[in-house]
């Protein structure tokens, strides 16, 4: 199975090719140039992998939460490619992708949502490597992050980078470790998508939509 995965939910632009179990991946700090970088990066990776677009069996993308503009870019690119090739799509939570990359079985994920808030979720991993959401993705203030049961949690994501003290105050000794510098990556999105493709839990291109969670991008003057 050959899968192309894309994430543009943060300031990074990451791409991955799953080629029958092997992964090629790229990530660059894109700022606001994701849309300019995606297709040239994809063409380079296809050349490196020795395949063309016609060899792809499906597409996966980081559906969110994350940057509104970034989520629309990833969804639009994947929809366009999937429409053109008549291939299925899998949408993967950016917070689950964060959990996948850190190597712990109990993970608190948090992305900086700006305006003093975070996108938050908590996951545990089953022996079959499936992630189970203990707390589904939500928007909250870091100091009001929901309580969790038990210890040995690992925290990761830009929310922990931005608000480490506030989140430590919430979870105290429940946190074993905070991993810094973590962001959603297409590599983990590709990995997570494989089970969905194998199960047939896929979307038609027109069914692929971003997961926004927040319904506005800025505070009104009266809210500041």
pLDDT in tens, 91-112: 999 999 999 998 899 999 999 9
Same fold? 2-93+185-207, 95-179: yes
pTM above 0.85, yes or no: yes
- What are the tokens at 64? 């969110």
Token code pair at residue 82: 């999937």
Can you give the residue ranges of every domain in the chain? 2-93+185-207, 95-179
Structure-block tokens of residue 152: 């040995």
Tell which CATH architecture fits domain 95-179. Answer: 2-Layer Sandwich (3.30)
Protein fold of 2-93+185-207: Nucleotidyltransferase; domain 5 (3.30.420)
Residue 16: asked if its preceding bond is cis (omega within 30°), the reply is no
Q: How does pLDDT run across 42-72, given as a tens digit for each residue? A: 999 999 999 999 999 999 999 999 999 999 9
Dmax over Cα atoms in the chain, in whole Å?
Answer: 55
Its sign, for the CA torsion 175, 179, 183, 185, is: negative
Helix or strand run (H / E) with residue 48? helix 34-49
Predicted local distance difference test score (pLDDT) of residue 215: 64
Residue 123 confidence (pLDDT):
98
> What CA–CA distances, in Å, run from 66 to 14, 105, 155, 221?
14, 23, 17, 23
Q: Which residues of the chain carry a pLDDT beneath 50?
A: 217-224
Please give the DSSP secondary-structure letter assigned to residue 65. Answer: S
Half-sphere exposure of 224 (CA within 13 A, CB side): 5
pLDDT value at residue 212: 93
pLDDT at residue 192, as a whole number = 97
């Amino acid at each position: 199975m050959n899968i192309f995965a894309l994430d543009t939910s943060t300031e990074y632009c990451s791409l991955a090719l799953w080629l029958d179990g092997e992964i090629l991946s790229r990530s660059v700090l894109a700022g606001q140039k994701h849309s300019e970088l995606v297709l040239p990066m994809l063409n380079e990776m296809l050349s490196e992998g020795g395949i063309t677009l016609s060899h792809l069996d499906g597409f996966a993308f980081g559906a969110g939460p994350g940057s509104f503009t970034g989520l629309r870019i990833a969804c639009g690119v994947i929809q366009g490619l999937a429409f053109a090739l008549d291939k299925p799509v899998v949408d993967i939570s950016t917070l689950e992708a964060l959990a996948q990359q850190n190597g712990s079985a109990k993970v608190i994920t948090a992305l900086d949502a700006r305006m003093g808030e975070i996108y938050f979720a908590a996951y545990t991993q089953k022996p079959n490597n499936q992630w189970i959401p203990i707390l589904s993705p939500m928007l909250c203030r870091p100091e009001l992050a929901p309580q969790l049961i038990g210890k040995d949690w690992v925290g990761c994501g830009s929310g922990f980078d931005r608000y480490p003290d506030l989140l430590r105050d919430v979870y105290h000794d429940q946190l074993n470790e905070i991993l810094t510098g973590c962001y959603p990556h297409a590599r983990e999105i590709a990995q997570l998508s494989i089970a969905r493709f194998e199960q047939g839990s896929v979307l038609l291109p027109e069914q692929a939509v971003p997961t926004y969670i927040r319904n506005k991008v800025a505070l009104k003057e009266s809210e500041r």
